[in-house]
Structure formats: C-alpha cells, structure tokens
C-alpha cells in the first residue's frame, strides 16, 4: 500500500479585491465609536461613507480622531464627515456625542458600537481593576451608547439600526481572555434583549462576531506568535481584513437585512 503523501504547502491566501460601494446607505446618518485608526471602526466608517452615509466618528483618542477625520474629509468631503470625542465609560460624554449628532444632522439612522478594550491575563492573576476596565468599555460602553441611541430613535419615530461589535470569544474559550470573553458574551445578550424591546418602534439591533481581524494597532500590542497561530487555524489560512468585517456591518445596517434583529453574525472562517 502506497503511503499517503503529506499535503502540499501553499502560500497563505490573499484577501479578495476590495468591494466598491453601492449606495446602500445614501441619505442616512451613522455614528461609529472607536472609529479612529486602522481597525474595524476605521474600516467601518470608510465603508459607510462609500455606501453614501454621512458619518460621525467618535473615539476617546483625540489626536487619532482628528487625523482620521482629516483623512476621510479630504477623500469624501468635509460636509459628510464629523468627529466628536467620546469616552464610552463616561455617561456625560455619551450624551454629548448623541446630542451633537442630532444638532449637526437632525437625525440618527445607524449606530455602530465598536468600542472595546482587550488584554491578556490569566484569571488567577487578574485584578478587579483589570476586570472592571474591560467590562466598563466593552459591555457597559455598548449599553450606554445603545440606550442613548434607542431613546432618540424611539422619539424620532423613523426607525433605525444598531450594530454591536462582539467576538467569537463570547462563544469559545481562550486562555487569558476571561474578562474580554465575558464582556463580549454580554454584548451578545444585550443585543438580543435590546432587539426585542426596540422592534416595537422599528429599530433593528444586531451584532457581528469577528474571529480575527489583524490591523497595525493590534499587531503592535499583541503577541506575534499568537496572532500567527490563530490565523493559521482559520480555514482561509489568514486573518480577516478589517474591511471584511465592515462589509458585514454595512449589510446589517442596510435594508438588505430588514428582517434581521437580535442576531449575532459570525465573521470567521470555521473558528466559531
């Protein structure tokens, strides 16, 4: 019997070509938290603009926020982009963010709750402060922004869409991620409950659950070997591009997802 040959090694697959916009969100106003920089938030802001929305960027990092605003304004026009600093752990700043959106645009159609805080530490070594910091940004921040958005959408009577950024670690275990996993599982539960309440006034609430989307900021703070190992476990042999996650967020924000609410959509390749 001829022994089986080992599988032939192939180079890591490359991402597909970037998908152009199709005007799916023309005439709408969208808010994206943690939108400064090169991660999922920044990619989502760009995709929303490409789909025709006016976008309000928000982030706790004022310098990066101004840089992102300037770059997008140069490309899409200053009239379609604005930036409002916001720390989602501060209720007063969250209120100011959504008040500012209404003052500038007079409407609120789409909210993408992208703000989150990670870190890696074993549970036995985790301090209360580490646990609380991750939960306050990732889960409580999503709660604060969802509450603020729903109050305004309900009052306006025009409906709307909220998309929350969860993670596959909300479903599966990963060492050192107890705080982050608990927060992201909470985001999923919050999404389901908010969706049931919001349906009565025409607002849809969904979430995406990415497995691994590597960008320059993450690459700077994460262990290189761990990222490589996680990417190798993906069916495509690579991590997602941030814009590939943003594509799914845009789909959920669009009328193509009109019958979807309370759902968490994995953006992964056999990692969930």
Residue 97, number of CB atoms within 10 A of its CB: 23
- Spatial distance between the Cα atoms of 138 and 160, rounded to a whole number of angstroms: 22
| The CATH number, out of the four listed (3.40.50.170, 3.40.50.720, 3.30.450.40, 3.30.70.2190), of the domain defined by the range 29-267 | 3.40.50.720
- Spatial distance between the Cα atoms of 270 and 155, rounded to a whole number of angstroms: 41
Q: What is the pLDDT of residue 272?
A: 47
* pLDDT reading at 266 higher than 90: yes
Give the residue numbers marked as catalytic: 180
- Which tens digits make up the pLDDT trace of 13-38? 788 899 999 999 999 999 999 999 98
* pLDDT reading at 7 higher than 80: no
Q: What is the pLDDT of residue 26?
A: 97
DSSP 256-267: GGTT--S-EEEE
How far CA 155 is from CA of 107, 152, 161, in Å, comes to: 11, 5, 14
Q: What is the mean pLDDT of residues 216-225?
A: 58
Q: What is the mean pLDDT of residues 98-122?
A: 97
Do the beta carbons of residue 180 and residue 139 sit within 8 Å?
no
Average pLDDT, the chain: 91
* Bridge partners (DSSP) listed for residue 30: 55, 110
**DSSP one-letter code for 88:** T
* Chain centroid, CA 228 distance in Å: 22
3-state SS record for 163-208: EEECCHHHCCCCCCCHHHHHHHHHHHHHHHHHHHHHHHHCEEEEEE
Q: What is the pLDDT of residue 237?
A: 78
- Which tens digits make up the pLDDT trace of 48-70? 999 999 999 999 999 999 999 99
* pLDDT reading at 218 higher than 80: no
How large a percentage of the chain has pLDDT more than 70?
90
Query: Strand, helix or coil at 233?
Result: helix
The ranges assigned to domains in the chain are 29-267
Q: What is the pLDDT of residue 219?
A: 46
| Residues in Cβ contact with 16 at an 8 Å cutoff, skipping those fewer than 6 apart | none
| Residues in Cβ contact with 36 at an 8 Å cutoff, skipping those fewer than 6 apart | 42, 57, 59, 61, 64, 65, 67, 68
The radius of gyration of the chain's CA atoms, rounded to the nearest angstrom, is 19
Considering only residues 244 and 228, tell me which one the structure prediction assigns the higher pLDDT.
Answer: 244
Q: What is the mean pLDDT of residues 160-167?
A: 98
- Spatial distance between the Cα atoms of 96 and 106, rounded to a whole number of angstroms: 14
Considering only residues 268 and 233, tell me which one the structure prediction assigns the higher pLDDT.
Answer: 268
Helix (H) or strand (E) holding 231: helix 224-233
Locate 202 and state its tokens: 């025409």
Q: What is the pLDDT of residue 51?
A: 98
């Amino acid at each position: 019997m001829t022994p089986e040959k080992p599988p032939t090694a192939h180079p890591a697959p490359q991402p597909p070509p970037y998908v152009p916009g199709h005007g799916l969100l023309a005439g709408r106003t969208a808010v994206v938290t943690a939108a400064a920089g090169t991660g999922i938030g920044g990619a989502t802001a760009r995709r929303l603009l490409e789909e025709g929305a006016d976008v309000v960027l928000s982030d706790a990092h004022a310098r990066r926020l101004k840089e992102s605003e300037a770059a997008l304004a140069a490309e899409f026009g200053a009239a379609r982009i604005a930036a409002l600093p916001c720390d989602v752990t501060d209720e007063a700043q969250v209120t100011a963010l959504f008040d500012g959106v209404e003052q500038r645009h007079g409407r609120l159609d789409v909210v993408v709750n992208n703000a989150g805080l990670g870190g890696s530490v074993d549970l036995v070594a985790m301090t209360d402060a580490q646990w609380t910091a991750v939960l306050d940004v990732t889960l409580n921040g999503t709660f604060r922004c969802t509450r603020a958005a729903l109050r305004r959408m309900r009052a306006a009577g025009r409906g709307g869409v909220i998309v929350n950024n969860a993670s596959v670690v909300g479903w599966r275990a990963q060492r050192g991620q107890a705080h982050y996993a608990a927060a992201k599982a909470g985001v999923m539960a919050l999404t389901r409950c908010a969706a049931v309440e919001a349906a009565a006034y025409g607002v849809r609430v969904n979430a995406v659950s990415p497995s691994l989307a590597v960008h320059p900021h993450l690459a700077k703070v994460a262990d290189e070997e761990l990222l490589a190992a996680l990417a190798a476990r993906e069916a495509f042999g690579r991590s997602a591009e941030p814009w590939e996650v943003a594509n799914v967020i845009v789909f959920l924000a669009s009328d193509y997802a009109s019958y979807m609410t309370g759902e968490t959509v994995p953006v992964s390749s056999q990692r969930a």
